């Protein structure tokens, strides 16, 4: 790593500047940390000379210093604020302070060391994600700036917690927007994969190297606990089941049967192992299939379930995909309702930020009406508290989960 990017407080004044256009600092002053390329006065401070990930002082149009950001001239979000303290060094100590604050919150929330330790902007580390699986940590750096600084992040983790293993899982599609390649690397210790974790009293095997994203999705923790309480003696269908997080916990909650459907054979193998690990594999079925095709066949065969979980991957990754994505969500939820027994429960989730909570609410309402069903929400959930929402950064509030009771029309 270049020494330039270990910036001490004594040389902060030597950093280059980016100056914003008139009134474009309002979002920053309100607490957001993003700067878009069209907000920069490029006649005063051109972006092209900056290297990807280079640090800079952000100035208002009047020349007032607003904070320190890292810059990527090739990205639409051309800068992300790291700190408003102009006297802070951007070094290992800076990252230790951020991590210590994040760790303090998680240790208050959870008695066991299985959680998202760093959630990007909400924890003051834009572009960084750190998931903790006991003494194994999985790190994602999704921006050029955080990629440049990741040595400090890893050093801070080693100093503060001393993990057995650290995995760099830099495979997110977000990296392409920053001009970054994808890769996976074990940067500390040896990794015996899969790793065992706990959630809501259940045990799971997680594959940090070969699994999706970091290998586990902590964000639905609370919603899965609710499902377990609703599951005694019923038939459950878990769509997009991945490694069985919903399905296994439903089975542990006393479900009579659980069908897990996913398109990944590797994920389903791990789901079956997770069923066995918890002693519930005998009442679980693992089906490799396209979810839409499975629903069509289940409808034709008149299969019925008491609970259907619809938790797809993000179907709307870009704003321009909203129309197509909304139609996919509509078809999924319609198909799920069609295989529900009378008085059944639909658990419908979306992790697509561009599908707003109100939009999913309206989609479910309209789908229920079009099918002449009486649909009510008895729980509306979001992401678990280890994914804290920054009140000035709406992009940190992405997960929507609706628990719907569905009956014949009144």
Name the residues annotated as catalytic: 351
Q: What angle do CA 405, 226, 200 make, to 5 degrees?
A: 160
CB atoms within 10 A of CB 236: 28
Q: What is the CA radius of gyration of the chain?
A: 23
CA dihedral 317, 47, 54, 122 (to 10 degrees): -40
Peptide bond connecting 194 to the previous residue in cis, omega within 30 degrees of 0:
yes
Q: How far apart are CA 204 and CA 196, in angstroms?
A: 6
Residues in the chain: 410
| Sign, CA torsion 12/15/18/19 | positive
Backbone angles phi, psi at 395, to 5 degrees: -65, -20
**Beta-carbon-side half-sphere exposure of residue 23 (alpha carbons within 13 Å):** 0
Q: What angle do CA 15, 20, 22 make, to 5 degrees?
A: 150
First to last CA, the chain: 66
Q: How far apart are CA 106 and CA 112, in angstroms?
A: 10
List Cα–Cα distances, 336 to 8, 27, 50, 296, 340, in angstroms: 56, 41, 50, 10, 7
Helix, coil or strand: residue 117: strand
CA dihedral 289, 291, 294, 295 (to 10 degrees): 170
Consecutive H or E run containing 364: helix 357-370
List Cα–Cα distances, 306 to 64, 142, 282, 309, in angstroms: 60, 40, 19, 10
Query: What's the token pair of residue 307?
Result: 């609970």
Q: How far apart are CA 283 and CA 91, in angstroms?
A: 52
Query: What's the token pair of residue 18?
Result: 């980016």
Beta strands in 255-356 (DSSP E): 257-262, 284-288, 305-310, 340-350
């Amino acid at each position: 790593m270049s020494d330039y990017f270990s910036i001490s407080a004594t040389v902060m004044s030597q950093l280059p500047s980016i100056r914003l256009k008139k009134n474009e600092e309002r979002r920053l002053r309100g607490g957001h940390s993003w700067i878009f390329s069209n907000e920069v006065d490029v006649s005063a401070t051109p972006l092209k000379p900056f290297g990807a990930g280079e640090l800079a002082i952000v100035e208002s149009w009047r020349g007032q210093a607003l904070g320190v950001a890292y810059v990527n001239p090739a990205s639409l979000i051309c800068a992300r604020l790291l700190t408003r303290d102009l006297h802070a060094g951007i070094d290992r100590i800076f990252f230790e302070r951020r991590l210590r604050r994040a760790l303090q919150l998680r240790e208050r929330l959870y008695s066991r060391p299985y959680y998202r330790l760093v959630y990007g902007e909400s924890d003051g580390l834009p572009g960084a994600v750190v998931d903790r699986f006991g003494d194994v940590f999985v790190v994602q750096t999704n921006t050029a700036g955080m990629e440049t600084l990741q040595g400090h992040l890893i050093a801070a983790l080693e100093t503060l917690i001393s993990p057995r293993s650290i995995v760099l899982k830099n495979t997110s599609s977000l990296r392409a927007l920053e001009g970054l390649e994808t890769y996976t690397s074990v940067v500390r210790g040896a990794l015996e994969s899969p790793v065992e974790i706990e959630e809501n009293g259940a045990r799971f095997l997680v594959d940090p190297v070969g699994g999706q994203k970091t290998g586990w999705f902590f964000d639905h923790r609370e919603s899965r606990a609710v499902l377990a309480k609703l599951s005694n003696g019923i038939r459950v269908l878990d769509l997009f089941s991945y490694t069985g997080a919903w399905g296994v916990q439903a089975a542990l909650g006393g479900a009579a049967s659980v069908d897990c459907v996913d398109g990944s054979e590797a994920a389903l193998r791990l789901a079956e192992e997770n069923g066995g690990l918890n002693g519930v594999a005998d009442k679980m079925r693992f089906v490799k299939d396209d979810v839409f095709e499975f629903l069509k066949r289940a409808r034709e065969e008149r299969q019925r379930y008491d609970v259907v979980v619809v938790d797809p991957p993000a179907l709307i990754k870009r704003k321009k995909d909203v129309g197509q994505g909304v139609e996919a969500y509509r078809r999924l939820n319609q198909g799920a309702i069609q295989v529900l027994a009378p008085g059944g429960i639909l658990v419908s989730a979306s992790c697509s930020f561009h599908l707003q909570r109100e939009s999913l609410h309206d989609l479910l309402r309209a789908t229920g009406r079009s099918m002449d069903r009486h649909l009510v929400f008895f729980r509306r959930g979001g992401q678990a508290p280890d994914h804290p929402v920054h009140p000035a950064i709406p992009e940190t509030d992405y997960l929507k989960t609706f628990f719907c009771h569905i009956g014949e029309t009144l």
